[in-house]
């Protein structure tokens, strides 16, 4: 019985811990971009800038994010990308994506530093 309880507790902790990492990726996707520069570079309208601010403030805490993404934590990337595309429009969105994500999937950018400093062929 003790062993079963320990396994269940470990699974719950592991799930919670992995989701907090995903939430941190979400927050970093917001905080790592200078949105004022984006607004200036892309010549965004005041309405577009306001919509970006609202989008960036949508889930200020882990709890608010978790309510929406608890069952599918990786869906925030798709949803956020879709919202930014809607706000900016296709042309400005492509400029934004090429500038800030080098044309790649944002998920690859969030994880790019994970193994930084490791040389090819070395085991992690």
Residue 109: φ, ψ to 5°: -70, -40
Q: Residue 70 CA to chain centroid, in angstroms?
A: 15
Closest by Cα among 80, 71, 67 to 110: 80
Q: With a cut of 80, say whether residue 4 has pLDDT above it.
A: no
Domain spans of the chain, in order of start:
21-110
What is the pLDDT at residue 2? 59
The three-class DSSP label of residue 71 is coil
CA distance 54 to 124: 40
What does the longest C-alpha to C-alpha distance in the chain come to? 62
> What is the per-residue pLDDT across 31-81, written as a single tens digit (0 to 9) for each?
888 999 999 999 999 999 999 999 999 999 999 999 999 888 888 889 999
Q: What is the DSSP letter of 118?
A: P
User: Is the full-model pTM beyond 0.85?
Assistant: no
């Amino acid at each position: 019985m003790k062993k079963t309880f320990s396994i269940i507790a470990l699974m719950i902790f592991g799930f919670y811990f992995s989701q907090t990492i995903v939430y941190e990726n979400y927050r970093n996707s917001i905080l790592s971009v200078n949105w004022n520069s984006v607004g200036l570079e892309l010549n965004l309208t005041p309405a577009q800038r306001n919509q970006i601010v609202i989008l960036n403030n949508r889930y200020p805490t882990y709890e608010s994010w978790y309510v929406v993404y608890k069952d599918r934590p990786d869906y925030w990337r798709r949803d956020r990308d879709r919202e930014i595309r809607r706000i900016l429009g296709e042309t400005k969105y492509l400029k934004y994506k090429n500038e800030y994500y080098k044309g790649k999937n944002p998920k690859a950018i969030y994880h790019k530093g994970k193994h930084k400093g490791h040389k090819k062929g070395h085991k992690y």
